[in-house]
A and B are shown apart, each in its own frame.
Chain A
Amino acid sequence: MKVAVALIYLEYAAHSLAASPDSGRPRGVSPDFAKFYKDAATFTCISNPSLSLPIARVNDDYCDCPDGSDEPGTAACAHLSPLSPQTTVNGVGAAGSNTTLALPGFYCKNKGHAASYLPFTRVNDGICDYELCCDGSEEWESVGGVKCEDRCQQIGKEWRRLDEQRQKSLGNAGKKRKELVAEAQRLRKEVEDRIQTLGTQIEGGERKVGQLEQELVEVERREKGRVVRGSVPKKAGKLGIVVGLAKQRTEELKEALLRVRGERDASATRLVEVEAILATFKEEYNPNFNDEGVKRAVRAWEDYAARDKGAEADAAHDRDLDALSQSDKQNGLDWEEYEGGDDDESETDVLYAFEAYLPPSVRTWLDAKLRSLRITLIESGILADTSSSSSEGESKAVSDAKTRLSTAQKDLDGHRKDLTTHQEDLDKPFGPDDVFRALKDTCISHPAGEYTYDLCFLSKTTQKPKKGGGSTNMGNYVSLEQIWVDEGAVPADGKGLGTGLRWAMKYEHGQHCWNGPDRSTMVVLGCAEEGEVWRIVEEEKCVYRMEVGTPAVCGEAGLKGKGGRDEL
C-alpha cells in the first residue's frame, strides 16, 4: 500500500506544481497573493512569518499554517473559521498565532469569464460550483469520480450577453431616472408655485376678512337699533316661542328616534350576523390548533350564548315607536292650534300701543331714546336681542354680511390649510434629487402565489386573492429609509438588490392579522429600467418584504456598496 500512497502523494505534488504552468502560481492562488509563493524551497505562512515549511507542503492537503495559507488549493484548512468548533488543535488559544484565514478563498481563474474566489469548504467536495468557478478547477481531485469540465466560454459568453443587456438597460434606466428627476422637479416647482400663490391669496383673504368683520359689526349695530313693527313674527310671543321651540324639539326628537331605531335595527342585524359567525366558529374551530386565545373565546362565547338573551325586540315597543314617529296631527298634536289665531299680545305690542298716545315730537324723541336705550341694553346683555335670536328674526342685511364673512373666512382657512400641506410636502423626504416625488401614488401590480400584490409608491400595499375576494391592506406608507441588504451579487438578469445600502419604503399599520401583528411591508428598491416587483416574501407572519426594481434608484445616488459578481 505504501506504493499506492506514495503515488497519491506524487499526484498531489504533480498537481500543485503543474497546476498553473502559465502563471507559476500554486493551485488556488490569485495574482494578488502570488508574491508569497515565489520561493522555490520554502513557504512562510502569510500571517505567521515565524513558521516556514518546505515548499512541498504547499497544497499537500494537510493544514500546516495556523492561517491556512499553505493550502490555497485544497479544503484542508477549511475548518479554520469562527464558524467551526473552536478547538485547541486548530490553534485556538495558542498564544501568538493568527488563525484568521489569510486567503479569501480558492482562486478560480475562470479564463474566458471573470476570475473569482470560492470558499475553501467547496474545494474537492464532488460538486461543480459553476456559479463561482466556471472552469471547474476546484474539483481537481475528482472525488467520487466527478468531472467538472471548463464551461467558462459558454458561461462567460452568456454572462457578457446578459451584462450587455444589463448595461444597456442600466443606460436606459439612467435616462428614465433623469426623466423622473425632471418630473419630480416639475412637481416640486408646482408645489412651490402654489405656495407662492397661496401666500398672496391668504394675504388678500386676510384683508378681506378684516373688512367684512368690520362691515358686519356696522350692519349689526344698525340693525339692532331698528325696530320694525310687523317684522317681528307673531309667534315671538311667549307661548309662541314655547310652541316654536317645542315643535322644533319634537321634530328633532322624532328624527333622532327614527335614526336611532334604524341604527338599532342595523346593530341587531349585525349582532345576529356576529352571533352566527361565532356559533359557526365554535362548531368549526380546531381544538387542536392549540390556541388558548381561541379556546377562551369559545368558552366566553358559550357563556355568553347561555346567558339570558335580554328582551327581544318586542312588538309593543315597535308599535309605540311607530306611533311616535307619525306626523303630528295623527299624533294628537296640532301645532297650528297653538301657533296661529290667538290674540295674545306680545310685549312689543304693548310698547307700541303706549307710544301711540304721545304727541309726534315727543314720540320722535322717545323713539330715538328708546332705540339707543335698547341698543345699550342689548349690548350690555340686559335685554335679549330678539332681532337676531333666530335666523328668521335676523335681518337680511345682517345675514348677508355674515354669509360674506364666513365665505371669506372659509376661503382663507382653506388656503392656509393648503399652504401647510404644501409646505409639509416640500419638507418631506423624497429621496435623492427628490426623485420619489415623481413616483408618488403610482402603482404596480404583481401576481405571486395565490395573490396579486399591488404596490402604490408612498401610499399603500395590498394583496388580493387570485381566487377572488376583497383585497387586504398590507400597510400604509410611513417613511423612507436606507437599509443594508446582503443578497450577494446582482443576478445576470439584473433583477436583484445586490449588496449594500438600499432605499426602502416602510409601510405599516395594514389590516390586522389573525394571531399576528398588523400587516406591514418593507419595500426595498433596486435599480431597474422599468418599475417592477421582483419578489415578495412573507418574512414573518404578516410581515412582508417586496423587492422592487425602479429607475428611480439607479445611478450613484441610489446605489452605494457593491453590486458586482464577487460574493466573498
Chain B
Amino acid sequence: MATTASFDSAISRSLSLRPSQPQNPVIGHGDGTNFEALWDTLRSALREIHEKNASKLSFEQLYRASYKIVLRKQGDQLYDRVKEFEEQWFAAHVMPSIRKLITNNLVNITLGGVAGTAATANERRLMGEEFLKGLKASWEDHITIMNMTTDVLMYMDRVYCADNRRASIFTTAMGLFRDHILRFPLAGNGANLMTFDILNSVILDQIGMEREGDVINKHLLRSCIYVLEGLFETDAEVENDKLYLTVFEVEFLRSSRAFYKNECANLLQDANASVWLRQTKRRLDEEQVRCQTTVSILTSAKIAKVVEEELISRNLLEFLAMEGSGIKSMIENDRFEDLEALYQLISRVDPSKGLLKEALQSRAIAMGHEINKTIQNTDWSAVAAPAAPEDGSNPVANKATSKGSRKTVGNHQTIAAIAWVDDVLRLKDKFDKMWVKCFDSDLILQTAITKAFSDFINVFDRCSEYVSLFIDDNLKKGIKGKTEPEIDIVLNKATTLIRYITEKDLFERYYKKHLARRLLHGKSESADVEKQMITRMKMELGSAFTQKLEGMFKDMTMSEDLTCGYRNHIRSLGDVDHKQVELSINVLTSNHWPMESMGGNMTKEGEARQNCTWPPEINTLQESFKKFYLEERNGRMLTWLGFLGNADVKVTFPKIPGKEGLLCRERRYELHIPTYGMMVLLLFNDLQEGATLSFEEIQERINIPTQELVRSLQPLSIIPKCKVLTKIPANKEVKPGDIFGFNSSFISKAIRIKVPVVAGLVNKVEDAEERKVTEERNQQNRSHLIDSVIVRIMKARKTTTHSSLFTEVITQLSQRFKPDISMMKKRIESLIEREYMIRVEEATQPTYSYLA
C-alpha cells in the first residue's frame, strides 16, 4: 500500500506542475474488470466489422482499447479472445452457408469421380460453379474483415506479437480459415471428406470439362486458386508450404497425368503421327495458357513436364514408326510442318535428340543406298537419254545420244556417274532444306546427317571416281554460260561431296587423272574456275592435298612460256625454214602428273613408251627443242609422250583426172589429229601412189603399242568424215593383218577436220579392269604412305606400344584415307623384316622399337 500511496503522490506532484494535462484513466486502473470492459467494446466492434458495418465505428476508441490492453500486458488474453471469436464466427455463420452448397452430387463426384445419376455435364458444371462462388465469396469477406481487424489491433500486432514471437493476428486468421473451412470435416459420408477435397475435385472436374472442349468460368477458378495460394500449411508461412503446392498441385498433376496417359493411348490406337503432333502441340499450349489464366504460373513447368512425359516420351518410338505417317513418310513426302513440330517436341524432352537423330540417320542412309542401288541396277545404255535429268548432266546425255551407235559402255557409265552425283546432291539438298526449315539448324542433327551421307557415299565404292567425274563434267561443259553465283553453287556442291569421301587419296588419284586430261587437251572451260576449285579443296583438305594439283597448273603456265620462248629462239636463229614444224609444248614434271593413268594401260603391258620411232622431221624438231630447253636447265631428262599430243596436218589430195565435181580439183584439208595419227599419216607421205602398208608394217616402222595403233588407225580408216586412208578389208574393225592405203578420193565439206578422239582420251568411268588397276595402284601408294608414317612415328618415339602406334597412324592418315588394319599389320611385318624396327620381347604389351 505504501508504494501505491507514494506513487500517487508522485503523480499528483507531476500533475501540479502541469495542470492542463487531463486525468489519464489508464493510470492506476490496471485490473481485470477493466479488461473485460475493454474487450466488450472490442467484441461488439468486431461483430460490427464482420457484419460489414465498420464505417459506423470509431477507430480511435477501438485502437485505444487494444493499446491499453497491450500496455497492461494482457495482449495474450486479447489475442486468444480474438481467435476464439473468429472460430465461433466461422462455425456459426460461414461454414453453414458453404455446407449448403456441398450437394450430395458433389460428394459423389469427389468420392467416385462419377456424377450422380441425374447430373449432366452442364448441371455438374453449374453446381460446381455455385460451390466455388460461395467459397470465393466467403474468402473475400474473410480477407476484408481481417484487414480491418488487423487495423484495429495494430498495436497488439506490432508490440505483443513481435515480443512474444506469435504469428500476426492476420496470419492466424488465415490459418483459421484453412482449419475451420477448408479442413472442415463433412460428416455423414463415411469417407473423411473435407471441404478441401470437394474444392479440389470441383476445380479438377471443371478443368477436365475444359479439356473436353467446354467453356468454363476461368476467372472463378483462378479466384479459388488464389485462396490456396494465399494459405499455408503452417502459420510460419513458408513459401514452399502453400496449400496450392502441397495439396492442389499434387492432385492436379496426378489427374492430368492420368488424363494424358489415356489420351496418348487413344491417339496411338486411332490417329496418325501427324494428328498426334498437332494434338500434343495444342495440349502443351493449352496447359501453358491454363497456368496463366486458371491455375498458377508456378505449375507451368511441372504440367509441361507431365504432358511431355505422357504424350511425347512414353510412346515416341511407336509414333515415329507409324506406317504412312511416321518419320519415314514425313521425310519422304517433305512434310516440313510435321517435321518441324516433331523437332520441337523432341527437343523438349531430349536435348540430345537421340531418337530423332537415329531416325534421320537411318532414313538418310536408306535413301542413299536406294540411290546406289538404282544406279548400279539401271541399264544405262537403254535409258541414257530419258534418264538424264533436266540439269547438269543434260549436255552429256545429248552428246551421248548424238554419238549414235558408237556409244560404249564407258559412256553410259559416265552418265550414271553424273546421275548418281545428281541424285546424291538432290538428297543432300532435301536434307539441308529440312535441316534449316524444320530443325532450327541444329548442330547435333547436322552431324548426324553428315555422318549418314558419309556412310552411304563411302559404301558406294566408286564414289571418288564419280565425284571427280562430276567435277570434270562441270568444268568441261557444265559451267558454260553460267553466271558466277551459279558456278559457285556447282563448286559448293562439289566441295560438299568431297568432304564426305573418306578415301581422299583415291579421289586425288582420279582428280589428277581427269585434270591432266582437261589441261592437256584444252578441255577445261575456264582456268579461273579450275583454280577456284583447287582453292576450295585446299581449304577443305589442306595444302598437302592440292600441292601436286597446283604443280600441274604451274607446269602448264611454264609450258606456255617455254613454247613462246622456243618460238622466239627459232625466229632469232634467222633460218626460216618453211618446212619447219611449229611446236607447242607442255613440259610436265613427272612427279605431279599421273603418268600411269594418262598413258592408258601401257605400263601394264610392260612396253616402254619412249621407244617409238619418231619420223625424221619430228626428230629434228625434238633435238632442236631439247637443245633449247637444256641450255638453261642442265641435267634434266626429257621424255616425249607421243600419246598425249595433237597435231595439225595439212593434207593435199591431188586431183583425180576423169572425175567430176570436187574430185577433179586439188583439195587441201587441215587435219587435227593425235600425234600418233600424225606419225601414221607421215608414213604415207613417202609412199608411191597406190602403194599400201600393212598393219604390221606400220607398227614396225613407228613402233607404237598395238592398242594405240588401232586407236590411231580406226578413225582415219573407218569414220567417213575423216577417212583419209583406205582399209582392206573394209569392215568396222581394225585388226592386225589389215592393209591400209592413201584414200586419194577423199572429200570433205569442211576444210578443217577434227579427227574424233577414240575412247581412252575422254574422261569416263573406268571399266572393271581399269578399276582394278587403279585400286591396286592406290593400295600400293597407301602401303608406301603407311610405311613412311610408321617410320616417322617410330623415329620420333623410339619405342611405342602396338596400340598407340596404330592409333597414331590412323590419326595421321585420316585426312587422306582410313587405313586398313590388316594392311598396317603387314607393313609393320615388312618393316621389321627390313630391319627398320624390332619387337620388344619382354614387354607386357606388344611393343616395337626403332632401329636407327
Answer whether A and B are interacting partners. Answer: no
Partner-A contacts on B (CB < 8 A): none
Partner-B contacts on A (CB < 8 A): none
